[in-house]
Chain A
Amino acid sequence: MIEILSSGALNTVQDRGRRGLLSSGVSRSGAMDIVALDAANALVGNKPDAAAIEVAAFPFRLRFDVAATLAVTGALAETRLSGRRVPPWWAIEAKAGDELTIDPPTLGARVYVAIGGGADVPLLLGARATELKSGYGGHEGRGLKRGDRLSVGLRRPGKLPDGGIGAPLPPRRREAGRPLRVLPAAEWPDFSEEARRLFVETSWRVTAEADRQGCRLDGPELVREQRRELLSHGIVPGTVQVPPAGRPIVQLAEANTCGGYPKIATVIDADLWWLGQAMPGDDLRFVVVERSEALEALREVAEWLDRLRGAAALYRVS
């Protein structure tokens, strides 16, 4: 078991989310930074579908009742295990009684804490992810609070060397200011040439209206020339909608499964993590790419993750 000592309502149990249920109105949910979640699970030797803790409210503290392997990835934040500093994107062995403390990030918004065996909350609709908006899944359908106790699943055999092991940063993490890659969406042609130019040339500001459902951006008004009415249609995380006021909203993990606003573009899957790490006041740009580049980027992340899994397994000694 682990016990939460200090938390906020935005800290939740998350995994890769629910798949195949958009047609029942069930949002995907899951980690906002899937790459960081995957890396944390890889470092501790978990299966890819294991659940971890997404930490978005700081400081965050928990105590281990039992010895466990833990990994911390995602946003860069001062992290200590019973006083010992844990570097970013790092896995380490915790002893029974150890306390983990994570301070507010210096870069990024969400830290992922994976524990060997995974957070053992009930499987609901095929996943352990918390859906905050609708109040189900994860730990009692809500954020973690002080005093909550989570059981962890069975550990894989093997311990990490003293001092632990680290992961190299995933592709593109170091490249600050690189634009988010998007594919044009259904209403792309309906926007004026000027609007399309503004869309890619503007440095968009992330507003305070940014949560697990979506991220509202501030910048110039994007005008749609073709003002035909749209009927409700399915949307996925990454969809960039432009409501009548003309400022884009990027739909994220807990987005409603259908919407009616025009869609100018969709952020490619491999770049979605960036929005999970965006803070109000951050600036971002978009660049339109071809489908082949979106696929290549996805493969690049998958290969990076495969190498990390392989490397982490080599270090784990029985």
Chain B
Amino acid sequence: MVDDFTLSQAGTGALLLDVAIGGAFDDARQARLLALAANLDGVEGVEDIVPGMNNLMVVFDPLLVDAGEIERRLAQGWAGAVAADEAGREHEIAVVYGGADLQETAAHLGLAVADVVERHSTAVYKVAAIGAMPGFPYLSGLDSTLAMPRRAVPRQGVPKGAVIVGGGQAGIMPITAPSGWHILGHTDFVLFDPHRAAPATLRPGDTVRFTVAGVKP
């Protein structure tokens, strides 16, 4: 395939490579994208390589490296990118399920609360990307029967540790912040610590499993 990506300017010193097809997220393409990201590490003038959902932003110093050079590396790199064999690290995250949203979500989906808990905790998730908030993981692999439209109006102050779903994605709140996703439970798992050199606990490519530490009414 030749035309299976778009490249666009994201300002004076950034480019965005988008490999999404339609609006759907693709795990295989994400794995190739993460391999490309690893290959770009250390390129002169490159400041940040930011995987998104089926896209990759490269931030560079435009006075040190020519944007055209980064464009060439992205286009050629994507064409030749092969998903790495080694899987990321594995994490088990204990969740106490419960709360008003859990009931509401179950009702909206026409499922029993126990079914929502079971489907959420038996799925195997991949960390597709880290971003938006410090250490926030975009998790793919949510059981498709748990896909919920996001709230029309984001809620203020969704608490740190909230285990959430929105659209076809799952996530966990690393800090207390606004979010339009639905809260299924809570975890004490620490996603972000600014005092560590690598502040985000999870990395793209890691595998996440949720375990049931309890279900509260």
Contact = CB atoms under 8 A, between A and B. Distances in A.
Contacts of A186: 6, 8, 10, 16, 18
B10 A134 contact: no
A188 B132 CA distance: 22
A239 B67 contact: no
A25 B199 CA distance: 9
Interface in A94-138: 124-125, 133-137
Interface stretch (B51-59, B78-86, B93-101): B51-59
B11 interface: yes
B132 A236 contact: no
B134 interface: yes
A257 interface: yes
B63 A268 contact: no
Contact of A258 (B13, B63, B129): B129
A295 B63 contact: yes
Nearest to A188: B8
A223 interface: no
Given A298-B62, A298-B63, A269 B12 contact: yes
Contacts of A135: 175
A232 interface: yes
B177 to A, nearest CB: 8
Contacts of B18: 186, 233
Nearest to B137: A25
A24 B132 contact: no
B194 A124 contact: yes
Interface stretch (A5-13, A14-22, A203-211): A14-22
A291 B195 contact: no
Contact of A233 (B22, B52, B133, B135): B52
A269 B13 contact: yes
Interface in A187-230: 188, 228-230
A183 interface: yes
A185 interface: yes
Nearest to B51: A23
A266 interface: yes
Nearest to B6: A186
A231 B20 CA distance: 8
B138 interface: yes
A19 B13 CA distance: 12
Interface string B56-92: 1101001100010000000000000000000000000
A22 B67 contact: no
B161 interface: no
B10 A266 contact: yes
A233 B131 CA distance: 9
A257 B50 contact: yes
Number of chain B interface residues as a range = 35 or more
A257 B131 contact: yes
Given A228-B23, A231-B25, A234-B55, A24 B200 contact: yes
Contact of B10 (A239, A256, A270, A295): A239
Interface in B129-151: 129-136, 138
A299 B16 CA distance: 23
A135 B8 CA distance: 33
Contact of A20 (B9, B47, B175): B47
B189 interface: no
A81 interface: no
B11 A269 contact: yes
Contacts of B11: 183, 185, 236, 238-239, 266-269, 294
A294 B25 CA distance: 33
18 contacts: A20-B48, A22-B57, A22-B59, A24-B135, A24-B192, A24-B200, A27-B134, A125-B199, A231-B54, A232-B131, A232-B138, A233-B18, A234-B56, A239-B11, A257-B132, A257-B133, A269-B11, A294-B62
Interface of A: 19-27, 124-125, 133-137, 183-186, 188, 228-236, 238-239, 256-259, 263, 266-270, 291, 294-295, 298-299, 302
Given A25-B134, A186-B6, A239-B10, 16 more contacts: A23-B50, A25-B130, A25-B136, A125-B199, A135-B175, A184-B8, A184-B9, A231-B25, A231-B54, A232-B52, A232-B53, A232-B129, A233-B16, A233-B18, A257-B132, A266-B10
